[in-house]
Every structure is written in C-alpha cells, then in structure tokens.
Structure 1
Amino acid sequence: MKKKILSIMFAVAGMLSSCNDVLDIEDINNYNPQLVWNDANLANAYMANLYPMFGNWNPGADSYSQQLAGIQFYLDRVTISNDQFKSWNYGRIRLINQAIVDVNKGTLPEAVKNNITGQALFMRAYTYYDMVRHHGGVPYITVPQDRYSDDLFVARNSTKECFDLMIKDLDEAIAKLPQRIATTSPDFGKIDGNFALAFKAKVLLLKASPQFNPSNPWNNPYWADAYVVNKKAYEELKAQGYALAANYEDIALVERGPESVFTVINSYPNKTANWDNGVRPGSESRGPASATPTWEFVKEYPMKDGKLYSDPTSAYHMSEEEFLQNFWKNRDQRFNKSIVWNAKVYEVSGKAGKRQYTSLGIAHELDDFGVNPKAGVNSTNLDRYTGFFVLKNSLLKLAQAEVQQYDVDYVLMRFAEVMLNYAETANETGKLDEAMDILKQIRRRAGIEPGTDGNYGITATTREQMREAILAERNIEFAFEGHRFWDLRRLRMLDRLDGTTKHGVEAVAILPNGQEMPLSEARAKADKNELLEGNFRYSLLQVPRSGVKENVLPEKYYFFPIHRDVLDRNKSLEQNKEWGGTFDPTLE
C-alpha cells in the first residue's frame, strides 16, 4: 500500500525546536503567529512537528519487565538527582498551548481551526498523562506563559485536578475531531475522535488503579466511571468496524488493518524504525540483537489448551525438566509467531527453509549463546543474549543489508487494548461474564483450543481470579509492546519484579543415545538445516553472566520523584512524600 506521509515543513521545525521549558524559567523564542495560523500548510506543519511525541517501534520497550533480557533496576536506578524515569515535558506543553490559543486568532476556516484545536487538546492530555503516571499531580498549564508578565513559579495541581483536566481536554477534543479518519484518507495517521475516546477510557482506567488508590485499590468509585467509558469505547469502535485482525501476525505487518486505532506512519526513506535492526540475530542484522526474550517469559506463554504447562489439568502438562527439553511443543500460537528459538524454521532475509541456531560452536558467532567447553570458543553474547530472539512484527523479507529500511507503520493503540481495558473495568465492577467474553475473543483469535466448556482454558470464577487472567492475557497479547512494566506498576504489583533474576537457554547438540554430538558433525548438519529442536539438550544459564544480576524495585517506585534541578528552579513545587517531600501523588 502506498503510504501518505505527513508533510513537515522544516523551516517551521527549526523555528519551533529551540523553545524551552517554560517552568524552567527559560527564554521562549518568538515565532510569527500571523504567518503560521493564516496559512493552512504552515498550520498543519506546526502540528506535524508535534507528532513525534507518539514515538515509534522500540525493540527494548519491555526491557523493564521480565519479558526481555537485561537487569534494568539496579540499586538506586532512580534518584532525585538523575534523569531516570523523569517526565517533565513543558517545552511540548508550551508549543501545544500556543497552538490552542493562536489558531483561533488566525483566518483559517472554522473547520480547520476546530480540527487543529482538537488535535492540540488531545496532545496536551496525552502529555500530562505521561507526567502524571510518572509523578502524580503536576502543574497543569493551559495557556502559553509569558516570561515577563506571568508568574512562572507554578505549584503542582493535585492529582485529582490533573485527571479532571485531562478528561476535560479529551472531551473537548472528541467534540472537535472527526470521529474516524478512514485508512484511505491522506489524513490517516492524525488523531481522530475514536483514538481520543479510547485514550479517555485508558486515562480513567489509570485513575481507578491501585497505583492512585492504595488504601482502596479495587472498590473505589472510580472503577464505575472507568467501566462506563471503557464499555462505550469498545462498543462504539466495534460498531464502526474495528475488530481483531484475523491473524495475530498481521496486526502490524498488514498495515491499516481493522485493529489499528492509532498508527504512526513510517515510509522508507523518509521515516523508518529500528525494530528489525534491534531484534534480529546479529548474523542477519547490522549488529547484535539489542532485545532478546527471557526463559521466564517463555514459560508464561500458555499451551495450546490455554493452560500453563505446570497446570495438572492441562492436556499438555509437563514437569519442569520435561518442559525445558520440549518447551516449543504444543504452545499458544502467539508463542510461535512471536519468538525464535534454537533450530526453529526462521526464513529471515527470504532464506527458504533456514533454521536459526544458537548453540555455541554451531551457530554464527553473532548468534550463539552458551558456555559449552567442548565448543573450544567463548561466546561474546552471554551478557545480552538468551538463546531466543524476537519474531513478532519482523519484516522477514528484508535482506540483512536492508534491516535499517524497516518502515512498518507503528501501531500505538490497537483494538485489543481497548478490549482488555474494558475487560478489566468490567471485572472490577462485578461483571465477570463481560470480562470472560473479551478474554474468549482474544484467545479465539490466538488459536487456543476452546475446550469442552468453550472457555479457552480460562478457569476464573472470582474477581480475583479473573483479575489475574486478564493480567496474564495482557502479558502475552502485548508481548514486546511496552505494556508489562506499566501494567504491574499501576496495579501495585512491582513486587513481582523486585528481587527477580533472568535466564536464557543453552542448546547442545546430542546424538540419539543422548551423548554430545561431535561438533564437526553438528556443524555439517546445521549448514544443511538438518538439526531439529529435538536434536539438542537444553540447560539454563542466568543472564547477564556478569554485573548486576537481580532487580531492585522499592515500594517508592510507584511514584517517581521530581528532579532536584526542577525543584531548585521553582520553589513553589513540592517533592513527592516518598522522596522526602510533602506532596501526596495519590488520589487519597
């Protein structure tokens, strides 16, 4: 499909890029509103320069969770004086507020003004959402501030005020935006009312969450409000034709599909992403993979009947050792479509019948993982690899030299998220049957066996059990999409990451009698793609092999601190109470 690229006028970009954080009391460069807001092209260019805020494909998006290798949370990873996990983006807020005020002073048609205002209001709420989930309440600035005439020493709004203002902005945005931008429209990739409604539902889900309501996490009144809007988002989008993609692997790779609620447009050579270059084995990329799945995550995928391998009621139940030697068998199809393992058929770079090997002494040196002394060589990948690679959303047709041409459109929000957000609010308001229906739809698409009861392996009969079932489904459905850490944090379940370690799987080729296969024979067979998964013995290795090996996530990480430099420049700001201040970032 030929892609429509949002036109970006670099003259305007240069004019705006040096605007600084207004709350840091920095000089704000002037621009000419009469020039920008009386010309539709310049006005659209101004807005287009804000759209990078929505990001792009990030191979390491789930490195903060158990899904990917790497110990991200070492002791004191977050402090008051470092830049880790800080979100204080008032430079962007300044540009957004300028647009909201100035567009209405220009001579553009009213419909154009409304559309630009709607986009800007959404962007403001979206930016504050990120700041609030990091820190709790922040100064909610809604007008461009003037260095000389305004009081820039602004105090923090309460967290409740911030949520109320986000919802107000989103409601006004929904009223001004087109309900849906067609996939065939040149405006596809811009914010529409459906995205705004779905995001409003997500904001209310966060508001109701245990993160913001620690003393009443599951029975606070915000759950009822969240349920109403999440159900509305689900039903309205479904009525317009949004749906789960027929095949899990097609969600992003078949662009502009029925599951895409909001999409960031990529198009080579104008705009590309680093996904394939970050997830492919080194021998098929421009360097070592930067994101590799862990054994811990491999174990969390269900079997074909929707139950875990360790569940005695599963038709595919195995002991720990049996599972280690047969982990690729009878799995949820999302496992097969998301992860590459040793000896799996992996037709990357258009290589028909190619199998991917990771065994030390057999695999390419940029792909291997292991410590087998008989290999006669040391792996250089022990601190970054796991014996697994990411397959999900990979554009396999790209040759090795082309991996940096990856330009699959980035699906920021998809209908499955709308569905599972709705399921969560339904469950917490006592509507287990509605939550169950959503999970069954997700699992049916995944190809899980329905079972004799038609429940696709879901056995939850209480609110607590359904809560765990929904969280487990989000973990698998949104693999490598950057949800897991933030889900655990808003649910106050970071203890599930605290103190954890990570592991990979080493593969050693064996003969039918179980003895190690001579490496010369193994290499010859591997060169012809003749070694299958069952021709190896598997063992666990902790990763990384050196340095910090255990995650440390203290209780105070449910709200991150305001940076000391920000506090020093604005004495009206209070620090969060978990970090030595007096500000309560919760809703209590």
Structure 2
Amino acid sequence: MKNKYTILLTLFAVLAIASCKKGGVLDQVKTTDLNEEKTFSDSTRTIQFLTRIYSDIGFSADPRRFGSSVGVYSITDEVEGSLLAATAYNVIFQTGAVSAINIPTDAWVTSYANIRRVNVFLKHLPETPLSPGLRNKLAGEARFLRAWYYFIMLKHYGGVPLIGDAVYEATDDVPGKRATFEACVNYIESECNAAASQLPLTQNGLDYGRITRGACLALKSRLLLYAASPLFNARPEMDGVLGYTTFDGQRWNKAAQAALDVINLNQYQLLELSTPAPGYGFQKVFTLRKNTEYILAAMAGNNRTLEAIWDPPSRAGSGSAYPYQELVDAFGTKNGKPIATDPTYNPADPYANRDPRLNYTILFNQGLRLGTNKAISPVNTYVNAAQDGFPLTKTGYFLRKFLDENTIASATSSTTERCFPLIRYAEILLNYAEAANESGDINTAYTQLVAIRRRAGINAGADGMYGLTAGMSKEDMRVLIQNERRVELAIEEHRYWDVRRWKIAENISNKTLHGMRITKVGNGYTYERIDIRTPVFVAPKWYLWPIPQSEVNKSVDLTQNPGW
C-alpha cells in the first residue's frame, strides 16, 4: 500500500526559504521558480534552504500554536484561554472532546515535513559550492534540527517511524512501522552527539541564533530526562513503542551526566540582577535577544507580539490569557516557603512578600505596568474595574511573563528585541537537580535549587538555604523540584509535558481550576476563590496524543496509540 504521508506531498517547486538578517533574525521570503538543482548550486540559496527549516523550530512552544493566544499553556493548569467555541482547541482539550480526528496535526505534519527537508539538504550538501568547513558546520545544524523535530514527536506520541536519511516521493512505498521508544531515543541521542562534534561553542554575528554545541547537548539533556521518567519506563505495551519495556534506574544517572555535560561547557549562566528589584534578572532575561542564559531560542525581529496578546486592554493588548489561581499559589513567599506554611503570607494581602518571580510572571490586581500614556500605573482587575476588571479577566489575572517593561501593544510604543526561549540554562540546572535526586544524590539537587532561587531574588535566610529545608527525603525533594519547575519554567511549554512524564496528570488534571474574584471595599479589597473549570483527563489514554487519524489511514503499518 502506498503510504502518502502529508510530509511527502510537499512540492519542491514552491519553496518557503528564509534569509539571515542582522542579529540572527530569521525572516521568510518566497520564490516560485526554484528546483533542487538551482537551489543547491548556489551557496546563498543552500543556506536559505536550511534557514527555512529553522523557521518552524518554535512551533510546539508557540503561545499562538492553536490559534489566537491558545498555546500548550492553555490546555494544562496554567492559563485559561479566552476562546469559547466548542471547536477551539483549548476547549476541546479541557473538556475531553479531543480525538484522533480533531487532534492538531502539526506535531506530526510539521515535524516530518522538516525532517524531509533536512534529508534533502544533507543529500545535496556535498555538491554545493560551499567550503568543506562550512558544509561540515551546516550538516551539524541540520542534524540537530532533525533530532529536534523527532523529539517533538516523541513527547507527543511515543515511538514514531524513523526514516533515516531517506528522501521519499509521493509515489514511494514509505515505511509506516513505528520504531520502539528506545530506538527513537538512541537515534536522537546519536544525532545530538554527532551534531555536537560538528558545531562550535558559539555562533556570532550573522550566525547568532543558529545551533551550537551547547544546544545539542542541552537537547540530549532534555531527551534523557524524559527517557528516565516514569511515563516511559516499564511500558511493555505495543512491543516497546510507548516506552522502555522495563525500568532501569541507571537512566537517571545518564540524564544527570547529560545535564552536567552542558554545565561543564562553562558557556552559560543565569542572568542575576538585583536592581532595581530583587530577582530582576528573571524579568530582564526574557527581553534580551542575546544573553548568557538562552541556549536555544526561536529567533524573531523586534516585536510586540506577546504584549499584543497578553497585555490587558488598558495597555492596548487583547488580554486573552488568564492565569489560574493554582499557578499563582504555586509561587511561595520571598522567604522561599510555601504560602501554606509561611506566617509572612497574608491572605488579606495575598501578593505582598511573595517570591519575586510571581510579580514577573502574573499581572495581578494593582500590579504596575506601563500605560498608553507612557507612564507606569496600577492595573485594576477587581470586579467591574474599568477596562481590565473581572469578569473581563476570567480569573482575576493577566499574564506578565516575557513582557518588556518598556513596551506595550500600542503602535506608538517601542518594540522589544525579545525572542522566545526554547532551552535555557535554568532548565538544565533543574534537569540536573531532578536526575541527581532520583539517582540518590540529593546534595547536588540542593546546589542547583539554591542557584535558581538566588537568581529569583528569594531571601537567603540565616542558613543560606533560600528557603530549602535541610535533610529532605528523595520524595520530599521530588515534590519540591516539581514545583520549582512549575514556577521557574511557567508558560514555556514544560508544565503540560512534565505532569505527563511524571505520570501525575491523572491526579493534577481532573481537579477544579480556580480564579480570584476581587472586590473593592473602601480603600481595600476582598478576595473570593471561584471555580473556573474542571478539566477532563482519562488515564492512561491521554498521557500520549493520538496520531492524527488522517495519517493512520494512509498506512496499514502505522499503529494508533492505545484507546484512540
């Protein structure tokens, strides 16, 4: 049977190619008269072809992935989306209406389309007029990108068909049999290692934003952390397609070493700034195109993209993403303690004396934000407050993370040079902490968390532990690391996948999510916790996405995930 994957129907006669601009910005241009011979006989066009593959690198984490301001953060317990239609993806996922027929196809189609482009590129690279040294570097970039797109599919579906370097045409018999999870992990790891050996530690000038050795090792760190996680261990179903058939604790050791390999490059560090406020580095880093913390980013030109979709109406934004109270509550106090156990937390003044990252992530009532008059002023989210008040904001909150303090959505406002982070150094430290803890090395976990919390602006305390409790068990440390990932990596596409790989989604995702109804009373406010929605999660079916049924129908060899 002819297996006509969507990716193989891409017509090479119409190429969307991109050119490198100042600062590593990737801007798309189109041409309609190119074929393979013309493309790869020209050095500029060859590089443009590779740059086209880069242009999709951030699609999975894009805050607008499913339309409007609906990203992965809108289908987990981070943010309530503004879309209400039954066909909106945030509604489909949260109400349990998702199926193999209406599941978004991008994780499969976009990934395989770019894997094919990589294979075309590598096939023709030896015949291009580029120098041998440049060909070697570009081959490394291409191999990383191929590994990146395979990993996106791996976290969505488990094992997928591995096509190697083959370039299939629409009339070819394409193998549809899914490789085992282990085979996919081994392949992605080997490609990361190979690409790392071909790439420099840094890319500068017009090459800034392209893949480095550090990005290769960082992807391997994320890959091996996932591979060691509960979801993908002791999974004998479907002959190992869904995970390793047995559990092996040594996988945590391997994941810890992979994170340490990135750290030992000595190329990255957390951006630590204590002025004008504690933890300011956590705010500033997201507005800088070039910084010490980003290992891989989806490059962009100067923009107001996130301000336009997240800022409240009073700041000229659409205000269309509303953080849940559960995310707000996950942030502890400035002493690094949970709000439930720290007596400095005052429920009558709930946003005072909190972990500084809360203020840099959530725009809450009376939070300060640049206005259209170019002055900083409070945002009012209380009931019936003009422009921004409840119920316009369904939860009583707007998103603030990533927003530039000097930029709003208005065309009269300056733009920001922000690029969206795909892998940053804070993740690597948290990867190391988690893997080390699961391996029994709790002291290493403490060290990484101290570094994260110090940059966050949390008080060191008399013991210099930044709120950490001495002598924690592995289980207690595990829970703490899970929450630290939640607050440090919020809205960066981690939470959705983390609760799945930890295999706790069934305990997290079936609980009612809340907002805060704030009422102004005289010069003060009252706070009422309100129900927003109770998501639906069916275990074990929904731990992995179904392969789009339209793709399964194209091959008798392509098996669907269980339950779909």
Ranked by relative contact order (alpha carbons within 8 Å, sequence separation 6 or more), the top structure is 1
The residue that corresponds to 1:4 in the other structure is 23
The residue that corresponds to 1:259 in the other structure is 293
The residue that corresponds to 2:242 in the other structure is none
Find 1:396's aligned residue among 398, 405, 410.
Answer: 405
Moved more, 74-83 or 42-51: 74-83
The residue that corresponds to 1:202 in the other structure is 222
Find 1:340's aligned residue among 351, 354, 363.
Answer: 363
Is contact 1:252-1:393 (8 Å) kept? yes
| Structure 1 residue 240 corresponds to structure 2 residue 261 | no
How far, CA to CA, are the matches of 1:398 and 1:350 in structure 2?
12
More strand per residue: 2
Deviation of 1:148 (Å)? 7.5
The residue that corresponds to 1:63 in the other structure is 74
User: Structure 1 residues 350, 453: CA separation in 2 closer, same or farther (over 3 Å shift)?
Assistant: farther
| Structure 1 residue 316 corresponds to structure 2 residue 344 | yes
How far, CA to CA, are the matches of 1:566 and 1:450 in structure 2?
53
User: Structure 1 residues 165, 453: CA separation in 2 closer, same or farther (over 3 Å shift)?
Assistant: same
Deviation of 1:195 (Å)? 0.7
Is contact 2:361-2:399 (8 Å) kept? yes
Deviation of 1:437 (Å)? 0.2
The residue that corresponds to 2:14 in the other structure is none
The residue that corresponds to 1:461 in the other structure is 472
The residue that corresponds to 1:135 in the other structure is 157
How far, CA to CA, are the matches of 1:121 and 1:179 in structure 2?
16
Matches within 5 A, 1:84-483: 84=104, 87-89=107-109, 90-147=112-169, 150-182=172-204, 185-214=205-234, 220-236=249-265, 239-246=266-273, 247-268=281-302, 272=303, 274-287=305-318, 289-311=319-341, 314-316=342-344, 323=347, 325-349=348-372, 351-361=374-384, 363-364=385-386, 366-369=387-390, 379=391, 381=392, 385-402=394-411, 407-459=417-469, 461-483=472-494
How far, CA to CA, are the matches of 2:468 and 2:408 in structure 1?
41
How far, CA to CA, are the matches of 1:561 and 1:61 in structure 2?
16
Letter in 2 for 1:439: L
User: Structure 1 residues 9, 86: CA separation in 2 closer, same or farther (over 3 Å shift)?
Assistant: closer
How far, CA to CA, are the matches of 2:106 and 2:169 in structure 1?
24
Is contact 2:515-2:531 (8 Å) kept? yes
Identity among equivalent pairs (%): 27
TM-score by length of structure 1 reads 0.80
3-state SS in 2 of match to 1:129: helix
Q: Deviations over 1:241-284 (max 9, x none)?
A: 5334432111111331111112333224xxx4631111111222
Letter in 1 for 2:476: Q
3-state SS in 2 of match to 1:10: strand
The residue that corresponds to 2:241 in the other structure is none
User: Structure 1 residues 498, 234: CA separation in 2 closer, same or farther (over 3 Å shift)?
Assistant: same
How far, CA to CA, are the matches of 1:273 and 1:152 in structure 2?
43
3-state SS in 1 of match to 2:530: strand
Moved more, 389-398 or 333-342: 389-398
User: Structure 1 residues 218, 570: CA separation in 2 closer, same or farther (over 3 Å shift)?
Assistant: closer
How far, CA to CA, are the matches of 1:352 and 1:401 in structure 2?
13
Moved more, 436-445 or 456-465: 456-465
Cα RMSD, aligned residues only: 2.5
TM-score by length of structure 2 reads 0.84
3-state SS in 2 of match to 1:475: helix
Q: Deviations over 1:117-146 (max 9, x none)?
A: 111111111111011111111111122434
Q: Deviations over 1:477-496 (max 9, x none)?
A: 11222211111111111023
Find 1:499's aligned residue among 510, 518, 526.
Answer: 510
Deviation of 1:400 (Å)? 4.6
How far, CA to CA, are the matches of 1:217 and 1:435 in structure 2?
26
Deviation of 1:154 (Å)? 3.0
Q: Deviations over 1:292-350 (max 9, x none)?
A: 11212111110111111211xx3425xxxx52x22112101111222222123333346
3-state SS in 1 of match to 2:125: helix
How far, CA to CA, are the matches of 1:415 and 1:350 in structure 2?
36
Moved more, 154-163 or 436-445: 154-163
How far, CA to CA, are the matches of 1:9 and 1:278 in structure 2?
22
Q: Deviations over 1:190-217 (max 9, x none)?
A: 1111111111111111111111114699
Letter in 2 for 1:392: K
Asked which structure has the greater CA Rg, the reply is: 1
Q: Deviations over 1:527-564 (max 9, x none)?
A: xxxx6xxx1122222226xxxx4433432112222222
In structure 1, runs of 5+ residues without a counterpart are: 16-30, 370-378, 512-530, 580-588
Is contact 2:368-2:378 (8 Å) kept? yes
How far, CA to CA, are the matches of 1:245 and 1:61 in structure 2?
28
